[in-house]
Each structure stands twice: as structure tokens, then as C-alpha cells.
Amino acid sequence: MVDIQLIRENPEMVKEAVAKKKCDPKLVDKLFRIDEEWRAKTVALDQLKADQNLVNKELARGQTEELLSKAQILKKRVSELEEEYTKLEHKRKELFEKIPNVPFVNVPVGKDETENKILREVGKKPEFDFTPKEYFSLGEELGLINTKKAGEITGSRFGYLMREAALMEFALVRLAYDVALPHGFIPVIPPVMIRGEVYEEMGRLAGDQKEERYHLGKDDLYLIGSAEHTMGPLHRGEVLEKESLPRRYIGFSTCFRREAGTYGKDTKGILRVHQFDKVEFFSFTTPEKSEEEHQFLLSLQEELMQKLELPYRVVEVCTGDMGWTDARQYDIEAWFPAEGKYRETHSCSNTTDFQARGVNTKYKTEKGKKELVHMLNATAFSQRPILAIIENNQTKDGTVKIPKALQEFVGKKEIQGIQ
């Protein structure tokens, strides 16, 4: 949720900021107006209720016909006003749902991913003296990926991850936890379903994100799209001690995404699927420290990529491509040599107080005042790096070398396929 105070005090600034995120600035004007109306109605209603309370107190002392009829009239007026008030409140809430987080002023402005700012390229791209295969055909040959059967059993955009690929997933999870734990991250396996109310508070049903969610009608629950979604509310309605910040969690969960509106994209393979597993970092910190924490999370992500010896680049995501809840976002993209492209494997977001406001997580300052925390989320590992490993580490004779960091967990150095 955006800070209404910010809109009241400086609507032009919010309009400008939000427009960069491809949000219609007129919505801010609209919210500004509705908010004014809502406030006026609040004053009127509160006054009427105060009158009503007064009469009720008199009635408690002794009843007269006159008082009683006065009370009845007041009751009617209150319920009329209340109806108008509720309408305004709904409108106001709807508008909140349409306004994304305000990006930091120094975020690169752009319309889509082509305008993301490349910060650095790291690692050496592999050179092949043969034509490298794309991960999915090689993965299929080696018995690591089966999308045909998955299509038959479940549908398109699902896959079986098998043999060493399945083992590599566990290895990645282990590696992520091993790197994170010394930094004080609390390990967690969160629920993969969430109530709509909390999902809204996390700003994850807002805008067109609702289309992206699976909803279980019978139980009125949503399947989460990321562990972020149920880790963020871990301190819902709580006031944290400042000394306990930053509070860091690392969670593993399966993620579910409808991938609405991506029909043509990445239809081959399992880069874009409806269900995948992911390890996620999540931090709660103070507003002063959130940019620093953001950099820290990014550095952890890079450390993980370097441990896998994968060539990657870091981009700062431009305003038009950023997430709904983000004030700043970095992506890490791994090199896919056969495709000849970098593809996103990690993202790292500072949501500032946007989610904290919704989920009502605060901390106590030195002066004893309560302020909203800042919340950050970042990918540790998803299944995508496995695909990058397959494509980058292939050899001329069709095998795949397993990165040193994973060899112990997988129990071998090379994937040779089904003999």
C-alpha cells in the first residue's frame, strides 16, 4: 500500500514516480479526491455518532419519550451516512490496489526490460569447439528433464526434473542454506497457501497480479507464487525491537504461477513453468538500513552464482519492468550459451514500507516511536540455475560437468546420461 500521507502532501511527486512504472497518474488524482471526500464524510459521521453516544448516555440514566424518538432519528441518520461512507471507503480501497510502490528517484527510467541498466558482467563465458545444445534438448537426451510425460500427466509448462537434475536441486538448496546460515538467517519452510486478505496486504493481488495466481475455490485460498508471500507476513501486526533488526529468514517453497499472458514465451523446456521450487531470502530492517541490506542480499546472490562458476550479469531493473511492490530491483541473469542470451535467474527487491504497511509490521525507535519496517526479498536459488549449469557445462561428448560446489551433494562430477 502506498503512503496516503505522501499523496496528501505531494501528489505531483507520487504521480510522476508512479507514471514511470506505467501506472496511470490520473489514478493518483482520483485517489486524492476520493480521500478528501472520505475524510469529510468521516468527520460528519463521527460527529453524528458523538451526538448519538451522548443521547444514549442520557437514556441510560432515564428514559423519556422525547429522548427515545431523538435517538431513533439519530440512528436512522447514522445508518444513512454510514452507507455513503462505506461506498467511499470501498472506492478508496480499490484505488489503493491500483497504485504500485513508488520507485526511488535514482532508479533508471525505462519502459521495459530492454532498458534495464547492466551493472556488471561476471565470470567467463564458456567457449565451445562444437555447437552447444540448448539445455532442454540436452536435458532430455540425458534423462534429466521430461516435459513430454509432464504434458500428458499435467499439462503444458510442467516438467519432471529427474536423476542428477533432481539431485542438483537438493544440492542447490543445501548450498544456499549453508551460505546463509552464518549470516544469521533463520531457516523456514513456509505454507504454500495463503488467505486472500493477507495476500492483498502483501500487495500481491494488486494490479494485474491476481491473474497470475492460482485460487482454490473450495477453500478460498491462493497458492503462493513465491515463499516471499508467506514469509513476509511472519511478523504481521507485530512491533519488533530495533536491536533485533535486521531480521533475516531463508525459506524453501514450491512456487505456483499461472504465467498468464506469456503464451508465446519460452514454450520449449522448463524455463517458464507453472510450478517450481525456490529458496528465498527475506529481510526485515529499518528504513535507514534497507539500501545497505539490499546490497548485502545482492552480494549473497552473487556469491552463490560464483560458487556455481556460472557466467552472469547484474542488472538494475528499470521503472517500467520493476515489480509492483518494489522501490528498487536488481536481477541476476545467467548466461545461456546455446541461446546466446542472458536469462533471469534471480531477483532482489527492496519493497521499502509498501508491504510493511499492508501487513502492519513495525519497529520501535530509540524514542519509543513505532515506525514501519522495510522489507526485502531476494532469490537464493530457483530451478533455473540448474538449466544454466546444463547448458554452460556441456562437453563435446554430450556429458555435463557438475560444478565443484555441488559435486559432493550430487555424489559425482559428471552427468553421463542413461547408459
Partner RNA sequence: GGAAGCGUGCCUGAGUGGUUGAAAGGGCUUGUCUUGAAAACAAGUAGAUCAGAAAUGGUCUCGAAGGUUCGAAUCCUUCCGCUUCCGCCA
- Write the binding mask 42 to 61 for RNA: x where contact by CB under 7 A, - elsewhere: xx-xxx-xx-xx-xxx-xx-
Smallest distance, RNA to C-beta of residue 209, A: 23
C-alpha torsion 179→180→182→184, nearest 10: 180
Footprint of RNA on 342-381 (CB under 7 A): 362, 370
63 binds RNA (CB under 7 A): yes
Residue whose CB is less far from RNA, 155 or 368? 368
Q: Which residue has the cell 534429466?
A: 144
How many other C-beta atoms are found inside a 10 Å radius of the C-beta of residue 181? 13
The CB-of-44 to RNA minimum distance in angstroms stands at 9
For 224-298, strand residue ranges (E) read 239-241, 247-256, 275-285
CA–CA gap between residue 228 and residue 378 (Å, rounded)? 8
Q: Nearer to RNA by C-beta: 43 or 418?
A: 43
Which C-beta is closer to RNA: that of 49 or that of 401?
49
Taking the least distance from each CB to RNA, the nearer of 83 and 397 is 83
Report the DSSP pairing between strands 414-415 and 247-256.
Answer: unpaired
Answer for the pair 402, 393: CB distance below 8 angstroms, yes or no.
yes
Q: What are phi and psi of 178, to 5 degrees?
A: -65, -35
| Residue nearer to RNA on the CB measure, 55 or 188 | 55
Does residue 102 belong to the site contacting RNA (CB under 7 A)? no
Dihedral of the CA atoms 298, 190, 202, 246 (nearest 10)?
A: -50
Q: Which helix (H) or strand (E) element contains residue 6?
A: helix 4-9
For residue 418, state whether it binds RNA (rule: CB under 7 A). Answer: no
75 near RNA (CB under 7 A):
yes
Position 87 contacts RNA (CB under 7 A):
no
What end-to-end distance do the CA atoms of the chain give, in Å? 55
* Binding residue count for RNA, defined by CB under 7 A: 24
Binding mask 14-43 for RNA (x = CB under 7 A): -------------------------x--xx
Q: How far is the CB of 130 from RNA (least distance, A)?
A: 46
| DSSP assignment string, 147-177 | HHHHHHHT-TT--EE-THHHHHHHHHHHHHH
DSSP-derived 3-state class of residue 363: strand
Q: Which of residues 212-241 bind RNA (CB under 7 A)?
A: none
Does residue 10 belong to the site contacting RNA (CB under 7 A)?
no
Q: By CB under 7 A, which span of 63-71, 169-177, 292-300, 319-327 interacts with RNA? A: 63-71
71 contributes a contact to RNA by CB under 7 A:
yes
Contact between 395 and RNA by CB under 7 A: the answer reads: no
The cell for 376 is: 526485502
Quote the CA–CA distance of 17 and 30 in Å, as a whole number: 16
Interaction between residue 275 and RNA (CB under 7 A): no
E strand spans, 290-337: 312-316, 328-336
Instruction: Please report, as ranges, the residues that interact with RNA according to CB under 7 A.
Output: 4, 39, 42-43, 45-47, 49-50, 52-53, 55-57, 59-60, 63, 68, 71-72, 74-75, 362, 370
